[in-house]
């Protein structure tokens, strides 16, 4: 019989989820950054690679905002989610699944904030085939708030070519799924998808 989680324990379980996501995310990123050179790839399967990249932009390598604005936006978003979670947990009216989704989103956003804020301060950025090393704080490759987010998961599930008769993209190669992402991105995506599927009625609260 499944043991029901007491509402009084929601806060502790939420903290456990956040801590676990942050620890796993940072462990993977630090391992990749200090053991792989830029664009090095490890073949796991034909549809899955560990491919080391860095990006200054949004999740999955997308870039469409100024770097400092993006970092500050993330920090504000995490602060707002934290306050909202505190209020929801304190009222004890939301199901644990809803709290878990918010915890995943919060932890994922915080994980990428750590990269943006601190990685430029604590890592160097040597050219390939050298790998990065941790350096004394403040002597890294970028100023505070200008670090790059480490990405590594690449799933080229389908590799094909668009038919020649198609306009614009005809004859060009096509890869699905092409974005490269990290564990924090996955946590954010899973949290958002679960919210939309199971708790969409609560999003407007």
- Give the residue numbers marked as catalytic: 151, 185
Per the document, the length of the chain is 205
Main-chain dihedrals φ then ψ at residue 180, nearest 5 degrees: -105, 130
Determine the 3-state secondary structure of 119 from DSSP.
helix
Bridge partners of residue 154, in order along the sequence: 49, 180
Determine the 3-state secondary structure of 52 from DSSP.
strand
For helices 67-91 and 96-114, the axis angle rounded to 10 degrees is: 150
Q: Which of 26, 75, 70, 33 shows the shortest CA–CA distance to 54?
A: 33
With 0-12 / 13-18 / 19 or more C-beta atoms within 10 angstroms meaning exposed / middle / buried, residue 162 is middle
Determine the 3-state secondary structure of 181 from DSSP.
strand
Task: Round to whole Å and give the CA distance between 146 and 22.
Answer: 20
Task: Round to whole Å and give the CA distance between 127 and 37.
Answer: 8
Quickly count: other Cβ atoms within 10 Å of residue 146's Cβ.
17
């Amino acid at each position: 019989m499944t043991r029901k989680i007491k509402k009084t324990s929601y806060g502790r379980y939420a903290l456990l989820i956040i801590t676990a996501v942050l620890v796993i995310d940072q462990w993977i990123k630090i391992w990749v950054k200090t053991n792989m050179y830029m664009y090095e790839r490890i073949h796991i399967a034909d549809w899955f690679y560990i491919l080391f990249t860095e990006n200054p932009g949004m999740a999955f390598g997308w870039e469409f905002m100024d770097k400092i604005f993006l970092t500050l936006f993330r920090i504000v978003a995490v602060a707002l989610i934290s306050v909202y979670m505190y209020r929801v947990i304190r009222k004890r009216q939301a199901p644990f699944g809803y709290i878990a989704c918010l915890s995943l989103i919060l932890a994922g956003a915080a994980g990428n904030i750590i990269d943006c804020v601190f990685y430029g301060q604590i890592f160097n950025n040597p050219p390939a085939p050298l790998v990065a090393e941790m350096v004394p704080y403040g002597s890294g490759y970028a100023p505070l708030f200008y670090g790059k987010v480490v990405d590594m998961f690449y799933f080229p599930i389908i590799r094909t070519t668009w038919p020649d008769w198609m306009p614009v993209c005809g004859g060009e190669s096509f890869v699905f799924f092409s974005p490269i992402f990290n564990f924090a991105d996955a946590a954010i995506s899973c949290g958002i998808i679960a919210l939309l599927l199971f708790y969409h009625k609560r999003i407007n609260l």
